[in-house]
Chains A and B, each alone.
Chain A
Amino acid sequence: MSEFSARWLPLLQTLPAPLAALLMQGLQRSDVMFPREKRELESTLESLRPPRSPEMERAVAAFKNLSIPTGMSASAWQTEPAAWVEKFTAAMWSTGQIEAYRDAAKLTLPRQMSSTLDAAPRAVVIVFEKRLMREAPSATLFRRLQPAGTLFTAVRGEKSRESLAEWFQQRARRSQERYAHWYISGNSLPILAPTENLASLSYAELQPARQRLLQMMNAARNTMGTGGPEGLRHAMQTLTPDEMGLASATDPVLRAFATDILVGGSGTQLYSTTFVQWTAREILRRAQPRTLVAEFTARNQSASMDLRLAQPTKEPPLDFEGSLVDAEMGAYLTYLNLLRLPCSERSHFVAWHEGYGQAIWIGGSASRGTQSVEPIQLSALLKQIA
């Protein structure tokens, strides 16, 4: 047990088991947490230390009211919190207490913690690679996002990609906090000048780990007998980055994050569009970065799950039209996740399709629900959210 965990264990032992188990899960991962999420965990723990606020007293009482099913040890959470939480959650569903459990958990959510990092507006740019196209030569894009921002229908410029990389690196140079600037791609990453505070992840670089994971799932389902889906989930939860073939990544926090994305994300091993959407969600939720560039690229066509598991290295051909639909929803969900962060009213969000030459900008001086048909360079748009 880490020193950090040991410091908080006495407090946890005074709390209702379902709450203690959730917190213990966090403590066990604290060595590989992003700075932001570790600070939030500490803040939650601090707020549970007596004397508590009336709100936290309500939270503790709500957890105390949940009945622990017979046969579940009230103290086993100390050694295997993840397994305890999984079993307890299943019991909450089967005993009709799931709403009460969710409500109790919501009461303990950390208050939005702003920091110096939030002094400057946060920016998210979503890139749709040019191959994501419908058969029709034109398309109405960003329908879900349009009411919130300005749609630019003539975004021009042959060097838009270079402008984007330059804009991203300029932002990264301006603040030093680690994990504050992210670039993720459904294919390969662009060449970016190495900077310590710049983090990146791509579907292509994780290919060996993805395929290894599918191989392990296939082996597990053929050998685990009665373990069932829960047995599989447990086996996957205990995988280490080394077992996933991620040993070459030097940063332990990034290695653990990549493992979480592939093991905990449903479909992240199969489809690049899902990988990008889920990774963007988790980066925003956990790292709360200042800059995020997320590129949606073409995913593989749908194929039998059994086939993908049995033949993990066989990746089906690409589906460009379907990927565009996925990316549109992915961009929308990413925007909603951005809104959940502190100071979201000052954030900027841009989604840009490099093939159709369309972009939507939400935030700053962008008017809601408007459209601009005037030609504009992507670099000019990005300059406004520098």
Chain B
Amino acid sequence: MSEHSFWSEVAAKQGRTRRDFLRGVCGSAVGAGVSNMLTSRAWALGADRRKVVVVTFGGGARDQETFAPEGQENIPRMLGELLPQGTFFTQVVNRGILGHYVATASLATGVYERFNNFANVAPANPTIFEYFRKAQTRPGADAWVVAPSNGFNRIGQSSNALYAGMGATVVLPKRMLARPDGLPAFQGLDHLLTDNYESPIQAPVALDQELSAERIESMLKLSVQDFAAHARTLSSPDELSFYVAQRVMQETAPSLLWITLHDVDVAHTGAFSLYIDAIRRSDRICADLWKMIQSDPEYKDRTNLVILPDFGRDSDQDAGGNGFQHHRTGDALSRTTWMLALGPDIKQNTVVDRAIESIDLTPTLGSMLGCDTASARGRVIPELRR
């Protein structure tokens, strides 16, 4: 087969899958135009009771390994349990820098941040955590971030002086188990300390921006020794993050919880099976998280859950990349991903085909939580309403 004809077929198939994504699984689809939109203000009615949990797949995931037909075997629970209860966006475009920390920061600020992905810096623009806490005069314990260790220690608080001290409580679970050189502080935990494959050099980073282990122990009512003992029963860093997130929900029940999963980033090693394993693990974690939300009276029926990868990964067809391994080309596939949202404010069993941008997340969360996100450049996503 010639190169042209083979790729024409692949491209046609991809075009088809993007449009026909999930047809037959979901019952309805909402087109580009939605009239009768609620204003942000109306949307925020009752917002003081609302809680929001955001899960990002730092590491990026492609359609063909997730919601496209050939990837659906990797996400059985999101597909079978969560999708029918939520609204699914087939095109979330990230027009910013495709590095995980800077992209996650952009998701949290609603502005395409432009800093060096590997630098130990805070986002320049206010984060959703700061908007929320300032507008609603909430304490630090009401907004939490659970994140992989490297680089994410500054994600909760911007450098904007107007919001000083209004950031999220950030917990980096792996750091509670590691020595400063990155090696485990307890035996049998090597497998949980796997770090960013793009930048092994980045560990260790300054510890001054995150919560101390003692403070975490006190807030979560969990000694580091007990934490380490439980950690030995887990199989990956993301499971560790989920365990900590559960603990955060049980002990402090924050209104805004942001969990960044990162196992998927193992794709940078080029081992496709490990990338797929990580997607399957993320699928389980997301479904279990929703189950937990629905079984906890503090969260049940008042919590919106939003799940999205920070971006995609390179296309197999781009000669400049190496398929799933990286996200370096900036091609359409690496910039385009999906989002699934579910909860009391969100339509069920709905697919939205029009393109939205990843920076639309923060204004939308602001609407759910009743806070103005003044510096955000994205737009409120009108379909995320009941």
What CA separation (Å) do A222 and B271 show in the bound complex?
26
A72 at the interface (CB under 8 A from B): no
Check B269–A323 contact: CB distance below 8 A.
Answer: no
Which residue on A lies nearest to B64, using beta carbons?
A144
User: Which residues between 81 and 119 of chain A lie within 8 Å of chain B, taking CB atoms?
Assistant: 90, 93-96, 98-99, 102
What CA separation (Å) do A274 and B274 show in the bound complex?
12
- Known A99-B330, A303-B190, A336-B316: A326·B271 in contact at CB below 8 Å: yes
User: Which residues between 211 and 258 of chain A lie within 8 Å of chain B, taking CB atoms?
Assistant: 217, 220-222, 224, 227-232
Chain A contributes a number of interface residues (CB within 8 A of B) equal to 60
Check B203–A229 contact: CB distance below 8 A.
Answer: no
Check B200–A309 contact: CB distance below 8 A.
Answer: yes
Check A221–B1 contact: CB distance below 8 A.
Answer: no
Contact pick for B194, options A148, A227, A304, CB 8 Å: A304
Check A271–B181 contact: CB distance below 8 A.
Answer: no
What CA separation (Å) do A231 and B194 show in the bound complex?
21
Stretch at the interface among B14-22, B52-60, B320-328, B376-384: B320-328
Contact pick for B119, options A228, A271, A340, CB 8 Å: A228
B329 at the interface (CB under 8 A from A): yes
B270 at the interface (CB under 8 A from A): yes
What CA separation (Å) do A220 and B201 show in the bound complex?
8
Q: How far is the CB of B120 from chain A (nearest CB, A)?
A: 9
Q: How far is the CB of A227 from chain B (nearest CB, A)?
A: 7
Chain A residue contacts of B191, Cβ below 8 A: 302-304
What CA separation (Å) do A350 and B352 show in the bound complex?
41
A76 at the interface (CB under 8 A from B): no
Check A305–B195 contact: CB distance below 8 A.
Answer: yes
Check A306–B195 contact: CB distance below 8 A.
Answer: yes
Check B271–A228 contact: CB distance below 8 A.
Answer: no
Check B6–A148 contact: CB distance below 8 A.
Answer: yes
Contact pick for A307, options B95, B190, B197, CB 8 Å: B190
Check B193–A306 contact: CB distance below 8 A.
Answer: yes
A368 at the interface (CB under 8 A from B): yes
Q: How far is the CB of A77 from chain B (nearest CB, A)?
A: 20
Which residue on B lies nearest to A363, using beta carbons?
B1
B365 at the interface (CB under 8 A from A): no
Contact pick for B118, options A228, A265, A333, A344, CB 8 Å: A228
B198 at the interface (CB under 8 A from A): yes
Q: How far is the CB of B78 from chain A (nearest CB, A)?
A: 21
What CA separation (Å) do A86 and B99 show in the bound complex?
15
What CA separation (Å) do A220 and B178 show in the bound complex?
20
Which residue on A lies nearest to B266, using beta carbons?
A302
- Known A305-B194, A325-B272: A231·B201 in contact at CB below 8 Å: yes
Contact pick for A94, options B97, B276, B319, CB 8 Å: B97
What CA separation (Å) do A221 and B182 show in the bound complex?
11
Check B114–A274 contact: CB distance below 8 A.
Answer: no
A339 at the interface (CB under 8 A from B): yes
User: Which residues between 319 and 360 of chain A lie within 8 Å of chain B, taking CB atoms?
Assistant: 319, 321-326, 328-330, 332-333, 336, 339-340, 344-345
Name the residue in A96, A265, A304 with the highest tally of chain B Cβ atoms < 10 Å from its Cβ. A304
A371 at the interface (CB under 8 A from B): no
User: Which residues between 29 and 72 of chain B lie within 8 Å of chain A, taking CB atoms?
Assistant: none
Check B323–A302 contact: CB distance below 8 A.
Answer: no
Name the residue in B119, B178, B270 with the highest tally of chain A Cβ atoms < 10 Å from its Cβ. B270
A268 at the interface (CB under 8 A from B): yes
Check A217–B268 contact: CB distance below 8 A.
Answer: no
B159 at the interface (CB under 8 A from A): no
B218 at the interface (CB under 8 A from A): no
Q: How far is the CB of A44 from chain B (nearest CB, A)?
A: 16
- Known A230-B118, A329-B323: A278·B270 in contact at CB below 8 Å: yes
Check B274–A333 contact: CB distance below 8 A.
Answer: no
What CA separation (Å) do A324 and B274 show in the bound complex?
12
Q: How far is the CB of B350 from chain A (nearest CB, A)?
A: 31
A294 at the interface (CB under 8 A from B): no
Which residue on A lies nearest to B99, using beta carbons?
A93
What CA separation (Å) do A273 and B271 show in the bound complex?
7
Chain B residue contacts of A266, Cβ below 8 A: 197-198, 268-270, 325-326
Chain B residue contacts of A344, Cβ below 8 A: 2-3
Name the residue in A221, A303, A340 with the highest tally of chain B Cβ atoms < 10 Å from its Cβ. A221
B224 at the interface (CB under 8 A from A): no
Chain A residue contacts of B137, Cβ below 8 A: none
Q: How far is the CB of B94 from chain A (nearest CB, A)?
A: 12
Chain B residue contacts of A304, Cβ below 8 A: 190-195
What CA separation (Å) do A344 and B322 show in the bound complex?
19
Chain B residue contacts of A99, Cβ below 8 A: 330
Check A340–B323 contact: CB distance below 8 A.
Answer: no
Which residue on B lies nearest to A278, using beta carbons?
B270
Check A94–B114 contact: CB distance below 8 A.
Answer: yes
What CA separation (Å) do A325 and B95 show in the bound complex?
32
B374 at the interface (CB under 8 A from A): no
Name the residue in A96, A221, A270, A306 with the highest tally of chain B Cβ atoms < 10 Å from its Cβ. A306
Check B114–A322 contact: CB distance below 8 A.
Answer: no
Q: How far is the CB of A25 from chain B (nearest CB, A)?
A: 15
User: Which residues between 176 and 232 of chain B lie within 8 Å of chain A, taking CB atoms?
Assistant: 178, 181-183, 190-203
Check A339–B6 contact: CB distance below 8 A.
Answer: yes
Check A228–B201 contact: CB distance below 8 A.
Answer: yes
What CA separation (Å) do A108 and B355 show in the bound complex?
32
User: Which residues between 78 and 136 of chain B lie within 8 Å of chain A, taking CB atoms?
Assistant: 95, 97-99, 112, 114-116, 118-119
User: Which residues between 126 and 160 of chain A lie within 8 Å of chain B, taking CB atoms?
Assistant: 147-148
Chain B residue contacts of A330, Cβ below 8 A: 272
Per-residue CB contact flags for chain A residues 281-311 toward chain B (1 = under 8 Å, else 0) read 1000000000000000001001111110110
- Show 21 residue pairs from A and B whose CB-CB distance is below 8 angstroms, ordered by the A residue: A94-B97, A94-B114, A95-B114, A99-B330, A217-B200, A222-B181, A229-B201, A232-B199, A266-B270, A271-B270, A271-B271, A281-B322, A302-B266, A304-B192, A305-B196, A309-B200, A322-B271, A329-B324, A333-B316, A339-B6, A368-B1
Report which B residues bind A (CB closer than 8 A).
Answer: 1-3, 6-7, 9, 95, 97-99, 112, 114-116, 118-119, 178, 181-183, 190-203, 266, 268-274, 276-277, 316-317, 319-320, 322-326, 329-330
Beyond A94-B97, A326-B270, 4 extra complex contacts between A and B, CB < 8 Å: A222-B181, A229-B202, A231-B201, A339-B6
Question: Shortest 7 CB-CB distances between A and B: which pairs?
Answer: A274-B270, A267-B269, A325-B273, A322-B273, A229-B199, A329-B272, A267-B270
